[in-house]
Structure 1
Amino acid sequence: MKPVYLAGRGLACALGLTVKTSLTALSRGSDTAATCVLPGESAPSFPYRAIADTQSDWNERACTLIRRVALEAGAERACDGALFIATSSFDIGAVEQGAAGMDYQAFADKVASWLQWRGPVYVLSTACTSSLNAMMAAHALLRSGEVEDALVLGVELSNQLTLGGFAALQLLSPDRSKPFGQDRNGLVLGEAVAALRLSNHQNSPWQMLGGANVVDGRQPTSASALAIVNMYQSALAQCGLAAQAIDLVKVQAAGSPGNDAIEAQGLRDMFQVIPPLVSLKMAIGHTMGASGAAEVALLTACLEQGVWPTYADSVDETLGVNFMAHQPDAVRRVMATILGFGGGHATVVLERT
């Protein structure tokens, strides 16, 4: 089986339009939240971490962002390989502007044409875990030798359907995301377009070792502590690692009162000594199907450049977990986790080579 490396990355999010500008904003502790208002009289408004740009047409905006991010990741070196498009909302934003009804095949064809992609194209939509599952699917193809290069593209752009759905479920914070916070009161949504170029050819300090996706749909809008444990155990077994080999865990920790507590329980149940923890959602928002790729791109860059997020709110001591206030020393192996609707629990394991 062939090794798989993270050969390139690109990111547009609320922090910035590139990985570099996002790191700069994160290091300054910039507050990027904008207000998003639901349609209708006396409708509530919520903070929303949007990408700062000026294009109003959904398709034109999506095309510009996807091309920009793919170029940053070096997608031209992989365009004969496999393209994995990960999203939970597809182009519903274009439909809301009056475009033709949503067609998943048409969306895939549209994105592939924007990138002038020549290889096979796959679309994954597993709610919030979409782009981590896309990473695992790409990893399987690359490991087997079926392709030598792949691009995982996470796309999540603003639309009223997603915002309205989360608001109706009373899952949104009225002020800000407070990961594992004592006064956490909901999550904050955000936009992101992220690209991860994976390759059999080593030109990167990061190797993807594997991952796992465990589905427990008994609670379709919340996580399961048992499934979290099973997810971590499955991923470690696939990679041939023991729990103590993990130096850092990027957690979901979106600020949900219930889910944050369940995730903390899963961490306590899994690890005798909980590794250092980090969360990025207070900086870029919960970017749904793009969140896995976006947070992997940002986290690996943080670890390389010595940039670390800051947390404005105190952690709930009853959860039995805490965040690292600074970058831990000698981080070699990282687990990046996303928990999502439908009972999806996904994590990938990266090793710094």
Structure 2
Amino acid sequence: MSSGVYLAGMGLACVLGNDMPQVLASLRRGGVPPTPVTVAEGIQWPVYTLPAQEGDWTQRLRQTVRHVAAQTGEWGERSAPLFVASSSLDIGFMEHTAQDLRLGGDLQDFAGVVAAALDWQGPVFTVSTACTSALNAVLAASDLIRGGEAGEALVIGAELDNRFTVAGFGAMQLLAPDSAQPFGAGRKGLVLGEAVAALRLRAQPSRWQLTGGANVVDGRNPSGTEASAVQAMCLGALAQSGLQPGDIDLVKVQAAGSPINDAIEVEALRQVFDPLPPLVSLKSAIGHTLGAAGAAELALLVGCIEGGAWPSTGYSLDEALGIALSEQPPRALRNILLNVVGFGGGHASLVLRDCHA
């Protein structure tokens, strides 16, 4: 028997703070600037880093995961499915280990560390599909709940510090030298961000319902956005939700600050929506958190709506794009479309409904 899927709890740690009250307070103060991260002698790139913590890489992972998961509420036996989503996984741990005997292991190693930190007793899944990882984990968890195979599930999106990822994006000339400016007139690339986010999904009704989603893979441009795939993911999510484009009141855009990809995204959205609904971008506040982005940006957006905070742009938008970013939540806000695009041609969308609207 098919069930609805609802967001029953959420947690977030990012550059803005280690929990939602801290995050919203930082946002109201204008945010936190990125920190220069050295990847090699004489080479630095800005990164929206997590607040400093004591301990080695694995200890910091465990502490952060426990703290963020606790923000979703009490779990009791912890026998529900756990989905761990990440792009970089435990590369940061490997960088600080002289001899990593786990290099002969498998993709589940990182999720195993996360599950052990939570003393999780239920089934554990790894989702690593580059930047769409966390949103695909949400879609997978939602399928289990809709199909009656689980009453609830926990999704953890995690991207922690590592030089390898930063150096790789820098080598591909994809990073901005200073700050993230999604849709900005002076945008020069993306700025990476660290984050750990937790989403508690369940069949029991609550304020926020996940009504549908879609994942579209188009590998013609492995490191870029394909307009036709953006259209397909939006229309697929709308179709599963039983909605028309005009029913969407807000779009959380991908908009990472790429000169080309930002323009392609706007072009594609115009093919789906006429006129465009209000748009919001979150990467100027927390950076591009890669595999954690789907969970981190969903949690942040819901937190902003519930907490009365909103990201400010703080830079000039590209007039050639002909768009604006919302300076506050739309007054009539019921259906929200969240978009995430990633390496390898991944394009994922999710529709979130405010059942109290």
TM-score of Structure 1 vs Structure 2, range by shorter chain: over 0.9
Alpha-carbon distance in 1 for matches of 2:210, 2:10 = 13
The CA deviation string for residues 248-269 of structure 1, in whole angstroms up to 9 with x for no partner, is 0000111111110111111111
TM-score scaled by length of structure 2: 0.96
In structure 2, distance between residues paired with 1:117 and 1:230: 36
Match of 2:40 in 1: 39
Is 1:126 equivalent to 2:125 in the alignment? Answer: no
SS in 2 for 1:268: helix
Q: 1:133-192 CA deviation, whole Å, 9 max, x = no partner?
A: 000000000001100010010010011110010000000000110010011001000100
In structure 2, the partner of 1:167 is 170
C-alpha separation in 2, matches of 1:120 and 1:267: 37
SS in 2 for 1:210: strand
CA deviation string 1:276-311 (max 9, x = no partner): 000110110100000110000010111112211100
For residues 75 and 333 of structure 1, the distance between their equivalents in structure 2, rounded to whole angstroms, comes to: 28
AA of the residue aligned to 1:10: G
Q: Kindly provide the amino acid, as one letter, of the partner of residue 25 in structure 2.
A: T
Which residue identity does 1:257 align to in structure 2? Answer: P
Separation (CA, whole Å) in 1 of partners of 2:77 and 2:280? 31
Partner of 1:262: 264
Query: Deviation per CA, 1:46-72, whole angstroms, max 9, x where unpaired?
Result: 111001122241100000000000011
8 Å CA contact 2:68–2:196 kept in 1: the answer is yes
What's the secondary structure of 1:67's corresponding residue? Answer: helix
Of stretches 106-115 and 158-167 in structure 1, the one that deviates more from structure 2 is: 106-115
Rounded to whole Å, the distance in 2 between the matches of 1:330 and 1:141 is 31
The root-mean-square deviation of aligned C-alpha atoms, in Å, is 1.2
How many aligned positions are there? 350
* CA distance in structure 1 between the aligned counterparts of 2:207 and 2:348, rounded to whole angstroms: 23
Match of 2:11 in 1: 10
Q: Is the 8 A contact 1:78 1:197 kept in 2?
A: no
Residue 214 of structure 2 contacts residue 237 of structure 2 at CA under 8 Å; is this kept in 1? Answer: yes
CA contact (8 A) 2:83 2:124 kept: yes
Q: Which residue of 2 aligns with 1:347?
A: 349
**Runs of 5+ in structure 2 lacking a partner?**
none
User: Could you tell me which residue of structure 2 aligns to residue 178 of structure 1?
Assistant: 181
Calculate percent identity across the aligned residue pairs.
Answer: 50
* Partner SS for 1:38: strand
> Helix, strand or coil for the counterpart of 1:35?
strand
- Equivalent position amino acid for 1:84 in 2: F
**Alpha-carbon shift at residue 328 of structure 1 (Å):** 1.1
- Match status 1:187 vs 2:190: yes
Asked if the contact 2:15/2:32 (under 8 Å) is kept, the reply is: no
Structure 2: distance between partners of 1:341 and 1:78: 37
1:201 correspondence with 2:204 = yes
Counterpart secondary structure, 1:90: coil
**CA distance in 2: counterparts of 1:269 and 1:171, whole angstroms:** 26
Q: For 1:182-207, what per-residue CA distance to the aligned partner results, in whole angstroms no more than 9, with x for missing partners?
A: 110010001000000000112x3101
Whether the 8 Å contact between 2:263 and 2:321 is mirrored in structure 1 is yes
Measure the CA separation in 1 of the matches of 2:283 and 2:38: 20
Tell me the secondary structure at the aligned position of residue 235 of structure 1. Answer: helix
The 5 A counterparts of 1:42-81 are 42=42, 44-74=43-73, 76-77=75-76, 79-81=78-80
Task: Note the C-alpha offset of 1:75.
Answer: 5.6
Residues 2 and 262 (structure 1), Cα distance of their counterparts in 2 relative to 1, 3 Å cut: same
SS in structure 1 at match of 2:70 = helix
Structure 1 match to 2:331: 329
Could you list the runs of 5+ residues in structure 1 that have no partner in the other structure? Answer: none
Partners of 2:171 and 2:55 in 1: CA distance: 26
Distance 2:195 2:60 in 1: 12
Q: Equivalents in 1 of 2:147, 2:219: separation in Å?
A: 30
User: CA–CA distance in 1 between the matches of 2:308 and 2:354?
Assistant: 14
Matches of 1:248 and 1:217, distance apart in 2: 28
TM-score, structure 1 length as denominator? 0.97
| Residue identity in the other structure for 1:121 | V
Matched residue, 1:250: 252
Cα distance, 1:100 vs structure 2: 3.4
Q: 2:297 aligns with which of 289, 295, 298?
A: 295
Match in the other structure for 1:146: 149
1: CA distance, partners of 2:218 / 2:169: 20
**What residue in structure 2 maps to residue 312 of structure 1?**
314
Please state if 1:93 is matched with 2:92.
yes
What is the CA–CA distance in structure 1 between the aligned matches of 2:290 and 2:47, rounded to whole Å?
Answer: 13
User: How big is the shift at 1:78?
Assistant: 7.5
Q: Secondary structure at the match of 2:108?
A: helix
Quote the offset at 1:17 in angstroms.
0.1
2:227 to 225, 228, 233: 225
CA distance in structure 2 between the aligned counterparts of 1:214 and 1:154, rounded to whole angstroms: 20
